[in-house]
Structure 1
Amino acid sequence: MASAETKQGTRPKPGAELVLTIDSLAQGGRGVARADGYVVFVSGALPGDTVRARISKAKRGYGEASAVQILEPSPHRVPDRCTHDGEPCPGAPWQGLPYEAQLAEKTRHVDEALRRLGGLEGFELEPILASAQQWRYRNKLEYSFGQRDGELVLGFHRRGSWSQVVNAEDCHLATEANNRARNEIREWARREGTPAYDPDARRGVLRNLVVREGRRTAQIQTRLVTSPARFARPPVDLHTVVEGTGSGTSGPTGVLGEEFLAEDLAGLRFRISPMAFFQTNTEMTERLSELVGEAAALTGRERVFDLYCGIGTIGLTLARDAGEVWGIETVPEAIADAEHNAGENGIENARFTARDVRLGVRPLLEEAGSPDVVVVDPPRAGLSKKVVRRVIECEARRIVYVSCNPTTLAPNAAQLTEAGYRLRRVTPVDMFPHTPHVECVAVLER
């Protein structure tokens, strides 16, 4: 049986409450504190805060905790701008940190991940690109339904709880149009007496609401996730999809209004299906596409592979300066959007295929030949070792890696350097102000 004493100090028990002072921020955004030498990662706290924290996990090397009370705020804290029911917005955990400090922390996290996790040296870390907007920047938000004191609420899960929902009236991450759509849905549900789903009792109807906005087209798309039931039509004119879920999601059961959302980006128009991925910060997505174009350094003759191409936002912007673009994406709906978007914009040198990237690169090589440039834009988990090997087999002279997680970019880049590539430069991009998340564009060449 493990002793409560460790080399790092006395290990507290789960449920214990400690008074801790936060020293720094770890990868992922949690505060770092020490209790008699024992390291504790604290959610809901910033450097300089002294907090009362409740231990949730106590492992041999470290513990995890949540701040239950800020006893003495950091002298560098700024007032929370976005609150719901008197609590800080769960979608803006870093809002108490001055914006310049947020950018500095994100830059440090990228640098530490690449050097410590990847063992990488000799690359240029360019200055982080600040978000064009610090607030009202999100084009998509997901809300949860709940009941409180007998009244339906619609907002966000309270930090650390999956059963309690805090009501949102004006989320400062969302635009006025997004807030208005959410509030209309909530008032409709209250008026009709349509209840929120209770997962413990397994009864009720309304589960989640996703509101997505075309920032340049002023279109709103809402997706309402429910349990199977009949109810009145929601008061949203267009782009409303109602889904039914039992124990799991069974897919759309009815469509109200138009199914697709349109958005303008980099001089092109894109169709976006309800289930297709699209970056949540429209203005910085456009800047990200420009960065990828600069990194690809196309002259008009190159063959480009666009892996994890989504609806074609990167591939179609590159196609204007490339000889040909070949895109692969697992989600068939996204590929249908990409093909539509190519036709809509009169782009004839881009082809898209619905394939699992792990299995689709070799057939693509046989069909198209070796590329000059490979662009990868994987999910947070990064590239599997198998996919990295397939990218290496492409023998491209340049790889442009778009990453939303520096801790997975680092080992992927290290594997590529072992195969003869050199990490030239990395540009952090702040797509998500007031959160610990950071995007990166990395360039590797051989």
Structure 2
Amino acid sequence: MSTVGDLLTLKVEKLLWRGRGLARQDSGQVVMIEPGVLPEEVVDVRVTKTAKDFLQAEAVKIQSPSPLRGIHPCPHAADCGGSRFGMVAPETGTQLKADILRDALPRALGRDHGLRIPELRVVPSPQGWRYRQRGQIHVASGLPHAMGHASNDLVPLTDCHLLAAPLASAMPALAKGLPDGRFTIAASPDTGQTATERDNVLLPFSFPDFGLTLQLPPSTFFQANWALNQHLVRSTVDALHGFERIADLFSGAGNFALPLASRGKSVLAVEGSAPAVDTGMRNADRLALKSVTFRDANLAKPAAWKMVEDFAPRAAILDPPRTGAKGIGRTLLGMPGLERLAWVSCDVVNTVRDAKPLLAAGWSISSLTLFDMFPGTWHMEVLMILDRP
């Protein structure tokens, strides 16, 4: 029986949700290997945790590399935990994520709903590297760092291939003006202007398809891959064509609500972050988008849902945090006027958990799209459209 610290040599069968590799010992015991391995590779691993039915391990050496494996372009890749899938070409990474999603969804849905999965649409990122307009750095002694892989150690950075070129170039100067700690830095895709969360500036972010330019403070959350976000927003808006009253739940600063309002939709945007709500309201006022209403409310509280019920939406967008929104499926079932949901998920396994009451009541998944929002990593964004029977 294997114990923590043991070294094993295993062959990776496939990749699982969250990018882990699945392997088995000769006994049949499952070993889940931390992200960074590829299917068909023979790897030496060290056991890091034992459980009743499986082991967890980390790779220490790739004995027989996959033909998909190439050289990681980042000089910090061996130590930094930021881009564990950067050893494959971006288009290969996108396909691997599609395979992971196709494997994970039937398991998450279970026997009752696993056969109702529509064909997966896949939208790659326009840029495989240098795509992030927003990111976090750890500052120590005025220098930028990243968190080390599987540790709390800080890794000094001279560059980051995930960051958009203007942001990566400005990173040392931005860090120099900050105290020790973790900070958000951002760059405008329109102008290349950079700033930190401590700077009192507004950066322009355009939606060309909707004729909008938002002004966003670096401290407010927005989709870091702004180029692919254009496709996500357009797909979501298109999916809600024909619906005039739409609730945008966990709306942030209005990533969906403002483009919808530009199309004349009546939108209630509900968000629990007061700064994000303030940013959304300011942009709506500046752009004269009068059909959107922003509300600062915690969707874990009944009062927030009373507000949504009074609005009487015919469709809703849900974009909850990675941990999901437990119980939301039952709450949505209590709103008989809802006909369609556009569920945006950065962890679709948690989303399926939350959506199961709807599926059990007859709602169906009518379309499923993977957006490779985070190349170089195992993370992905999924747009799931659900319809009332």
Q: TM-score, normalised by structure 1?
A: 0.79
Mapped pair 1:169 → 2:158: yes
In the TM superposition, residue 262 of structure 1 has moved relative to its aligned partner by 2.9
In the TM superposition, residue 51 of structure 1 has moved relative to its aligned partner by 2.5
Mapped pair 1:68 → 2:60: yes
For 2:229, the equivalent position in structure 1 comes to: 285
In the TM superposition, residue 321 of structure 1 has moved relative to its aligned partner by 2.9
Counterpart code for 1:133 = Q
Mapped pair 1:364 → 2:353: no
For 2:14, the equivalent position in structure 1 comes to: 24
Mapped pair 1:272 → 2:216: yes
Alignment match of 1:158 (pick from 148, 153, 158): 148
Which structure 1 segments of 5+ residues have no match? 1-9, 195-204, 224-240, 242-256
For 1:128, the equivalent position in structure 2 comes to: 122
For 2:168, the equivalent position in structure 1 comes to: 179
Q: In 2, distance between residues paired with 1:285 and 1:58?
A: 39
For 1:394, the equivalent position in structure 2 comes to: 335
Counterpart code for 1:173 = L
Cα deviation code 1:116-145 (max 9, x no counterpart): 211323342232001111010011121223
Q: In 2, distance between residues paired with 1:70 and 1:160?
A: 18
- CA gap of 1:99–1:185, structure 2 versus 1, over 3 A, is closer
In the TM superposition, residue 330 of structure 1 has moved relative to its aligned partner by 0.4
Q: In 2, distance between residues paired with 1:290 and 1:337?
A: 21
Cα deviation code 1:263-286 (max 9, x no counterpart): 222421223234422111001111
Q: In 2, distance between residues paired with 1:417 and 1:146?
A: 48
What SS does the aligned partner of 2:63 have?
Answer: strand
In the TM superposition, residue 95 of structure 1 has moved relative to its aligned partner by 1.5
Q: In 1, distance between residues paired with 2:280 and 2:128?
A: 30
For 2:350, the equivalent position in structure 1 comes to: 408
What SS does the aligned partner of 1:357 have?
Answer: coil
Q: TM-score, normalised by structure 2?
A: 0.90
Greater Rg by CA: 1
Q: Are the counterparts in 1 of residues 184 and 219 from structure 2 also a CA contact under 8 Å?
A: no
Report the RMSD for the aligned CA atoms in angstroms: 2.2
Q: In 1, distance between residues paired with 2:79 and 2:71?
A: 10
Which structure 2 segments of 5+ residues have no match? none
In the TM superposition, residue 445 of structure 1 has moved relative to its aligned partner by 1.3
Alignment match of 2:88 (pick from 97, 105, 126): 97
- CA gap of 1:76–1:277, structure 2 versus 1, over 3 A, is same
For 2:188, the equivalent position in structure 1 comes to: 214
In the TM superposition, residue 361 of structure 1 has moved relative to its aligned partner by 4.2
In the TM superposition, residue 375 of structure 1 has moved relative to its aligned partner by 0.9
Q: Which stretch of structure 1 is more off in the superposition, 345-354 or 269-278?
A: 269-278
Q: Are the counterparts in 1 of residues 274 and 296 from structure 2 also a CA contact under 8 Å?
A: yes
What SS does the aligned partner of 2:18 have?
Answer: coil
- CA gap of 1:113–1:410, structure 2 versus 1, over 3 A, is farther
Q: Percent identity?
A: 27
Q: In 2, distance between residues paired with 1:169 and 1:394?
A: 52
Q: In 1, distance between residues paired with 2:368 and 2:309?
A: 31
Cα deviation code 1:180-216 (max 9, x no counterpart): 2222245x47xxxx9xxxxxxxxxx512232111111
Q: In 1, distance between residues paired with 2:40 and 2:362?
A: 43
Q: Which stretch of structure 1 is more off in the superposition, 165-174 or 331-340?
A: 165-174
- CA gap of 1:391–1:366, structure 2 versus 1, over 3 A, is closer
- CA gap of 1:323–1:145, structure 2 versus 1, over 3 A, is closer
Q: In 2, distance between residues paired with 1:274 and 1:418?
A: 41
Q: Are the counterparts in 2 of residues 430 and 439 from structure 1 also a CA contact under 8 Å?
A: yes
